[in-house]
Amino acid sequence: MSSNLARLGHVALETPDLDGSLEFFVDAVGFEEVVRDGDTSYLRAVDEFDHHSIVLSEAAESGVDHIGWQTEAPEYLSEFETILEDEGIEVTWVDAGTELGQGEAIRFTTPTGHEFEFYYEMEKPDPPAERRSKLKNKTYSRTTTNPIAPRRIDHTQLWDPEANDFREWLQNTLGFRVQERYNRADGSRWGTFLSANGNKIEAAVIEDEDASNEPALHHIAYKVDSADDLFGAHDAMNEHGIPTDGIGQHSISRGKFLYVRDPVSGHRIEFNAGGYLVFDPEWEPIEWEEGDLEDRQWIGQIESKKRVEY
| Backbone torsions φ then ψ of 114, nearest 5 degrees | -85, 140
The DSSP secondary-structure symbol of 23 reads I
> What single string gives the DSSP state of each residue in 101-150?
TB--EEEEE-TTS-EEEEE--B--PPPPGGGB-SSTT-SB-GGGS-TT--
Specify the length of the chain in residues: 310
pLDDT band at 2 (very low <50, low <70, confident <90, very high): low
Q: How far is CA 298 from the centre of its chain?
A: 22
Q: Is 143 helix (H, G, I), strand (E, B) or coil?
A: helix
Q: 3.10.20.30, 3.40.630.30, 3.10.180.10, 3.50.50.60: which CATH number matches 5-131?
A: 3.10.180.10
Q: What is the pLDDT of residues 258-276, one digit of tens each?
A: 999 999 999 999 999 988 8
Domain ranges of the chain: 5-131, 152-309
Whether this model's pTM surpasses 0.85: yes
Task: Name the nearest CA neighbour of 12 among 79, 47, 59.
Answer: 59
Better pLDDT: 75 or 305: 75
Task: Kindly indicate whether the domain formed by 152-309 is annotated with CATH number 3.20.20.70.
Answer: no
Q: What is the pLDDT of residues 170-199, one digit of tens each?
A: 999 999 999 999 999 998 899 999 999 878
Same topology, domains 5-131 and 152-309? Answer is yes
Q: What is the pLDDT of residues 58-89, one digit of tens each?
A: 999 999 999 999 999 999 999 999 999 999 99
Identity of residue 53: S
CA–CA separation, 200 and 9 (whole Å): 15
